Copies of this chain bind each other. A is one copy, B any other.
């Protein structure tokens, strides 16, 4: 399998964590987002959306969208499970993941920030936009797991929720979001930092890191 990604793409990072947790080896193909390589004709044949990540399977099929890829991985490589067995708990983990992957990250991604600049917004307002979107999302996430004993987002083992949270916290720091208001999220992050699957997926450990 080949994972098409970019070291600093948080969506690619989610898939890297999931692959590491499952112990699945893949070849990593880097597409430099700031150079626009995700819009090259050859890549658009694999993923017409022009986003990373995309996972090319050995039979030539290419899967897109990080959450769909992680759920595919969880269905085809069940251990360790990235979702709980109970349907309500699965829904809670997925809702947390979607609060990040639907409502937070797409509102502050490279493409949206470029469009804000295109509309004439100054750089400080563009950065402020990203910080606003991330702050709104993390505040919701903090509340969603406030009563969870942890130490991970949902329980004693990492799940899809942690896979989405850790990269989003990186983006939060990048855009100057003050994180002290989110102690429960930081506790989940501290738990993840002890797991090699998370550490090995970090941007600075990737071969295309700058």
Q: Measuring CB to CB, which residues of chain A are less than 8 angstroms from any residue of chain B?
A: 48-51, 57, 61, 63-65, 67-69, 71-72, 75-76, 87-88, 90-92, 94-95, 98-99, 101-103, 105-107, 111-112, 115, 119, 121, 125, 129, 132, 136, 139-140, 143-144
Q: Can you list 8 residue pairs at the A/B interface with Cβ under 8 Å?
A: A48-B143, A49-B143, A67-B102, A71-B91, A72-B87, A72-B90, A75-B87, A103-B106
Which residues of B sit under 8 angstroms from A121, Cβ to Cβ? Answer: 119
Q: B48 to A71, Cβ gap below 8 A?
A: no
Tell me the complex Cα distance, A108–B63, Å: 25
- Check A112 against B102 for contact (C-beta < 8 Å): no
A124 to B107, CA, bound (A): 20
- Structural contact, B95 and A65, CB atoms closer than 8 A: yes
Closest chain B CB from A73 CB (angstroms): 9
Residue of B nearest to A115 (CB): B132
- Please name the 10 residue pairs, one residue from A and one from B, whose CB atoms are nearest each other, closest first: A48-B143, A68-B94, A65-B95, A72-B91, A49-B140, A68-B95, A65-B98, A102-B102, A75-B87, A68-B91
> Residue A103 contacts which of B51, B61, B99 (CB distance < 8 angstroms)?
B51
Q: Whole-angstrom distance between the alpha carbons of A65 and B141 in the complex?
A: 12
Min CB distance A46 to B, Å, is 11
Which residue of B has the minimal Cβ distance to A59? B88
Which of B50, B92, B98, B136 lies in contact with A67, CB distance below 8 A? B98
Expressed in whole angstroms, the minimum distance between the Cβ of A165 and any Cβ of chain B is 15
Q: Which residues of B contact A143 (CB under 8 A)?
A: 48-49
Instruction: Report yes or no: A65 in contact with B106, Cβ–Cβ below 8 A.
Output: no
